[in-house]
Structure formats: C-alpha cells, structure tokens
Amino acid sequence: MQSAVSVKDLKIAYGDHTVIEKLSIDIAPREFLVLLGPSGCGKSTLLNAIAGLQDITSGEVWISGKNVTWEEPKDRGIGMVFQSYALYPRMTVRKNLSFGLRVAGLPKAEIEARIGRTAALLQLDKLLDRRPAELSGGQRQRVAIGRALVRQVDVFLFDEPLSNLDAKLRNELRVEIKKLHQSLGNTMIYVTHDQVEALTLADRIAIMKDGVIQQLASPSEIYHRPASLFVAGFIGAPAMNFIEGSIELKDDGPAFVSKGLNVDLAGYAFQAPPRGGPATLGFRPEHIALDGAAKGLPTLIGRVSVVEPMGADAVVWFDWADRSLSLRVMGDVALQPNEDIAPGLDIAKASLFGADGLRL
C-alpha cells in the first residue's frame, strides 16, 4: 500500500548541531500518527520539515506518492494547525479561513461554499465576522483547524494545538479532533508532549528522544510493552516503578533477584531466550495488586507513606527497600499512612530491561 507521508533518511542540522540524524518513517493513508516526546526532542522540527517550513540537510519527504522535498509548503497538499493558533489578527474569521483560497485564486462561489461547509462542521457560523481578538482560546483554535480544513487536503499537521488551552477545553477539543478524524478520514500527524493526548488520539505513536524514534507502535503496545527504559519511564502517570536487580538462570527457569525479592519469570514473555545478568524490572502502579498475596503472586512487603485519592481511583505510595513505589487502587479502598501492606506483582504484565536499557 502506498503511504500518505513518507520520510526517508531525513537529516536536519544547524552547523555542527544535529537535530535529527537519519530518520525514516512511513505513515499510512487515514492514519492518525502522534509524535510524542520531551521538549527539544526534534518532534516539531520533524513536523516542520514535513510541512516544508524547515530546511533539511539531506533526505526526502514524500506526500501522497509525490516527492515534495523541494516543493513549497502550499504545493505539498497539507494543512497545518499551530500551537499559538497563528490567526491573522487584522482579519475576520471569514477572511482568515478564505486567505489561502484567495491566494490560490479560487472562484468566489467555491470559496463561499467551502467556508460554509467548514463553519458548519466546526460550529463557527456565528463567529465568521469576528476578529480573532474577540474569540476565546477554544474558538480560536477551532478557527485555526478550520483554516486547515478549507484547504481540502489529504494531510493535516498539528503542532501542539491544545497546549495553550486550559484543561477542560483541552479535553473537549481533543474529542472534537478525534471525531473530525473519524468523519473526514484524512491522514493526521500530531505533535504533542502530552501523553494523554497521544494515547487517546493516536493510531500509532512515535516516541522521540534526541531526534531518534525510540518506539513506533500502537498506544496499547507502547503502554504495555515499552521497547526501552526511556519509553517506559516517559509514558504513564504516575510513572512506572523500576527495581534494579539481576536475572539469574536457575534449574527451574529464569528469575529476577533483588534485595530479598525473588520473582519467578516463568510468566514473562521474553523477546529472546533469557540470559543472566543485570536487569531492571518495571511495573505499572495498576499491575501490582493489594491482595496479591492471596492470589499467590510474589509480594513486596512495605509501609504506606502517602495516599493520593483521585476520585475514581487512588495512588498509594509505599516504601520498599528504601525506595518509594506506587500502587493504584480503587477510590473506595481505605488505607492510612504507616499501614503495612504486602501487594503482589503480576509478572506477566511487567517489563524487563537489560543493561543497555532495551526490553528483554
């Protein structure tokens, strides 16, 4: 199948400083791809390079089967939404929406028709004659999305579109973007540093660090089977718990050993046949059960330090072997600080990483 967007061996460098070194990625038609990573990881640079707003050092960019490496942004068949909305301040919403179409010299009737359709889709009908300064943040971002939509292109690029909004609006607009993708079926590439946006919106997430894609997989795969320590630590709130130790190959199979903890790894799905050596065991707060001992799981005996109720659930922090671990329980579980607990670890859902930080 032909990919909608394809980046081949992309390199971007400013002088001696290399932002992206030889990056390749293929994005399928109708796919929602999220580029996720900490600030400065090169995700926005990559998006700008796809848009044609960023000079590249070497490599190719293909959009809809066409090599657009040397094309101007307007000729690439893309629409883009920016973090700061980037609405033209002296133009009304109508003029903002029609600007690109007027530049392209489309007939008036066609422009009117497209604005009508877009405004209806995004509920902008009543705002068409207002200036951006007279709109709320959520309305501004809807206009910015509308400006990308009227171009009727195959590929939409979003550069942290929700970062400037407050939490409630962010949730609302996130749902709107997801609906939009489901109804339009365009290819969307979405840059964010917010893992909730990434997990909720994406078909696939590309996690980036230092200009390199660390893992490219579905949200579920990324959450449950992180490919490296970095990905495991970056995704999830509260963060994954880590315990350093080593893998020992015993007569009855491999085991993870650390400070009195001895976990039988028979239930763990190794990537490759296990070998002995130093390793890190990672497990999410919800994969360690308060009533683990009763289920016969390996237990971590500790003492509760802090309980953070969050309504539906609560995060319990407990001390185990001079480190603080987190545990997610239902919101109605009553636990007090200094209470002794013995939660059990579900090794089938845990992750093991080797000394090089990669998944075992």
Partner 1 sequence: MASPHPNGPRPARLTAGSIGLYAFLVVAALFFLLPLYTMVVTSLKTMDEIRLGQIFALPATLDFSAWATAWSGACMGTVCVGIRAGFWNSVAITVPSVALSVFIGAINGYALSLWRPRGSSLLFGLLMAGGLIPYQIFLYPMVRAMANINLYNSVPGIVLVHVIFGLPLVTLLFRNYFVSVPEELCKAARVDGAGFWRIFFEIMLPMAVPMVVVVSMLQFTGIWNDFLLGLVFAGRDNLPMTVQLNNIVNTTMGERTYNVNMAATILTALVPLAIYFLSGRWFVRGIAAGAVKG
| Minimum distance, C-beta of residue 160 to partner 1, in the bound complex (Å) | 11
Among 34-42, 45-53, 55-63, 172-180, which window interacts with partner 1 (CB under 8 A)?
Answer: 45-53
- Residue from 67, 84, 123, 220 binding partner 1 (CB under 8 A): 84
Report the relative pairing of strands 253-258 and 241-250 from DSSP bridges.
Answer: antiparallel
Q: Quick one: which segment of 73-81, 175-183, 211-219, 299-307 binds partner 1 (CB under 8 A)?
A: 73-81
Tell me which stretch binds partner 1 (CB under 8 A): 96-104, 118-126, 164-172, 328-336.
96-104
**The three-state (H, E, C) secondary structure of the chain, written as one string:** CCCCEEEEEEEEEECCEEEEEEEEEEECCCCEEEEECCCCCCHHHHHHHHHCCCCCCEEEEEECCEECCCCCHHHCCEEEECCCCCCCCCCCHHHHHHHHHHHCCCCHHHHHHHHHHHHHHHCCHHHCCCCHHHCCHHHHHHHHHHHHHCCCCCEEEEECCCCCCCHHHHHHHHHHHHHHHHHHCCEEEEEECCHHHHHHHCCEEEEEECCEEEEEECHHHHHHCCCEHHHHHHCCCCCCEEEEEEEEEECCEEEEEECCEEEEHHHCCCCCCCCCEEEEEEECHHHEECCCHHHCCCECCEEEEEEEECCCEEEEEEEECCEEEEEEEECCCCCCCCCEECCEECHHHCEEEECCCEEC
Closest CA to 78 of 93, 90, 61, 91: 61
One residue of 28, 53, 293, 333 binding partner 1 per CB under 8 A:
53
For residues 322 and 274, is the Cβ–Cβ distance under 8 A?
Answer: no
**Shortest distance (Å) from residue 205 CB to partner 1:** 24
- Beta carbon of residue 169, minimum distance to partner 1 (angstroms, whole number): 18
User: Is residue 39 a contact residue for partner 1 (CB under 8 A)?
Assistant: no
Q: Which of 89, 116, 278, 331 binds partner 1 (CB under 8 A)?
A: 89
Give the residue among 109, 110, 88 at the shortest CA–CA distance from 99.
88
| Interface segment toward partner 1; rule CB under 8 A; list 49-57, 199-207, 268-276, 307-315 | 49-57
Query: Which residue's CB is nearer to partner 1, number 103 or number 312?
Result: 103
Nearer to partner 1, 122 or 281 (CB): 122
With CB under 8 A as the rule, give the number of residues binding partner 1.
28
Q: How far is the CB of 206 from partner 1 (least distance, A)?
A: 22
At closest approach, how far in Å is the CB of 53 from partner 1? 5
Q: Of 29-37, 50-58, 176-184, 313-321, which segment contacts partner 1 by CB under 8 A?
A: 50-58
Q: How far is the CB of 101 from partner 1 (least distance, A)?
A: 8
Of residues 22, 74, 179, 323, which one binds partner 1 by CB under 8 A? 74
d(CA 81, CA 158): 5
Cα–Cα distance measured from residue 141 to residue 86, given in angstroms and rounded to the nearest whole number = 9
Among 22, 38, 58, 88, binds partner 1 (CB under 8 A): 88
Closest CA to 77 of 158, 155, 188: 155
Judged by beta carbon, residue 48 or residue 215, the one nearer partner 1 is: 48
- Only segment of 80-88, 173-181, 292-300, 345-353 that touches partner 1 (CB under 8 A): 80-88
Residue 55 touching partner 1 (CB under 8 A): no
Indicate whether 106 belongs to the interface with partner 1 (CB under 8 A). Answer: no
What is the distance between the alpha carbons of residues 191 and 178, in angstroms, rounded to a whole number?
A: 14
CB of residue 176 vs partner 1: minimum separation in angstroms?
20
Q: Which residue of 13, 28, 86, 315 would you call a contact of partner 1, by CB under 8 A?
A: 86
Map the footprint of partner 1 across residues 144-203, applying CB under 8 A.
144, 147, 151, 159
Note the residues at the interface with partner 1 (CB under 8 A).
48, 51-53, 72-74, 78-80, 82-84, 86-91, 99-100, 103-104, 133, 144, 147, 151, 159
